[in-house]
Structure 1
Amino acid sequence: MTLLHLFILAVTQGVTEFLPISSSGHLILLPALAGIEDQGQVVDVAVHVGTLGAVIVYFWADVREALAGIGRLVRGRADTPGARLALLLLMATVPVVVAGLALKLTGLDDAMRSVAVIGWTMLGFGVVLWVADRFGPARLEAADWSWRHAWILGLWQAVALIPGTSRSGICITGARFLGYSRHGAAKIAMLMSIPTIAASGALLAAEVVATADTEAARNGAIAAGFAFVSALAALALMMRLLRSVSFTPYVIYRVALGIGLLAWAYS
Structure 2
Amino acid sequence: MSWIEAIVLGIVQGLTEFLPISSSGHLRITSAIFFDQDAGASFTAVTQLGTEAAVLLYFAKDIWRIGRTWVVGIWDSSVRSSLDYRMGWYVIVGSIPIGLLGFLFKDQIRATARNLWVVATTLIVFAFILAFAEYWGRQTRVLRDFRMRDGVVMGLAQALALIPGVSRSGSTLTAGLFLNLTRETAARYSFLLAIPAVVMSGVFSIPDVFAPAAEGTSAPSVAQMVVATIIAFGVGYAAIAWLLRYVAHHTLYVFVLYRVAVGTLVLALLLTGTIPAT
* TM-score, shorter chain, exceeding 0.5: yes
Structure 2 CA distance for aligned equivalents of residues 185 and 194 of structure 1: 15
Tell me the CA shift for residue 240 of structure 1: 1.0
CA drift at 1:186: 1.2
Counterpart of 1:101, as a letter, is F
Call closer, same or farther: CA 1:82–1:248 in 2, change over 3 Å: same
Map of 2:237 onto structure 1: 232
Is contact 1:42–1:216 with CA below 8 Å preserved after alignment? no
Deviation at 1:236, TM superposition (A): 0.8
1:74-121, CA deviations, whole angstroms, 9 ceiling, x for partnerless residues?
5596714433221110101000001101111x5343111021111110
Q: Does 1:165 align with 2:158?
A: no
CA distance in 2: counterparts of 1:65 and 1:210, whole angstroms: 39
1:173-252 equivalent positions in 2, closer than 5 A: 173-205=174-206, 207=208, 216-252=221-257
Distance 1:15 1:210, change over 3 A: closer
CA 100–76 in structure 1, closer or farther in 2 if over 3 Å, else same: farther
Write the letter of the residue equivalent to 2:172.
Answer: C
1:95 aligns with 2:93: no
Q: Which residue of 2 aligns with 1:109?
A: 110
May I ask how many residue pairs the two structures share in their alignment? 264
Measured in 1, the distance between the counterparts of 2:14 and 2:93 equals 26
The answer for unaligned runs of 5 or more in structure 2 is 213-218, 273-278
The answer to whether 1:261 aligns with 2:256 is no
Residues 205 and 251 (structure 1 numbering): CA distance in 2 closer, same or farther, change over 3 Å?
Answer: same
What do the CA deviations read for 1:231-252 (whole angstroms, capped 9, x no partner)? 0111111111222211011000
Q: Is the 8 A contact 2:49 2:202 kept in 1?
A: yes
Report how far residue 51 of structure 1 moved: 0.2
> For residue 11 of structure 2, what is the aligned residue in structure 1?
11
**Aligned ranges for residues 80-91 of structure 1 at < 5 Å?**
80-91=82-93
- Is residue 151 of structure 1 aligned with residue 149 of structure 2? no
SS of match in other structure, 1:243 = helix
Q: 1:257 to 1:76 in 2, by over 3 A?
A: farther
Aligned partner letter, 2:56: I
1:188 and 1:222 map into 2 onto residues whose CA distance is: 28
Any conservation in 2 of the 1:7–1:223 contact (CA below 8 Å)? yes
Q: Which residue of 1 aligns with 2:36?
A: 36
Distance 2:21 2:51 in 1: 15
Checking the alignment, whether the CA contact within 8 Å between 2:117 and 2:267 is kept in structure 1 is yes
How far has the Cα of 1:42 moved from its partner? 2.9
Contact 1:12 1:23 in 2 (8 A): yes
How much identity, in percent, do the aligned residues show? 30
The one-letter code of the counterpart of 2:251 is S
> Using a 3 Å threshold, how does the CA distance of structure 1 residues 111 and 75 change in structure 2: closer, same or farther?
farther
Q: How does 1:114-133 map to 2 (within 5 A)?
A: 114-133=115-134
Instruction: Give the RMSD, CA atoms, in angstroms.
Output: 2.3
CA distance in structure 2 between the partners assigned to 1:28 and 1:93 by the alignment? 24
Taking the aligned partners of 1:209 and 1:257, their CA distance within structure 2 comes to 29
TM-score norm. by structure 2 comes to 0.88
What TM-score, normalized to structure 1?
A: 0.91
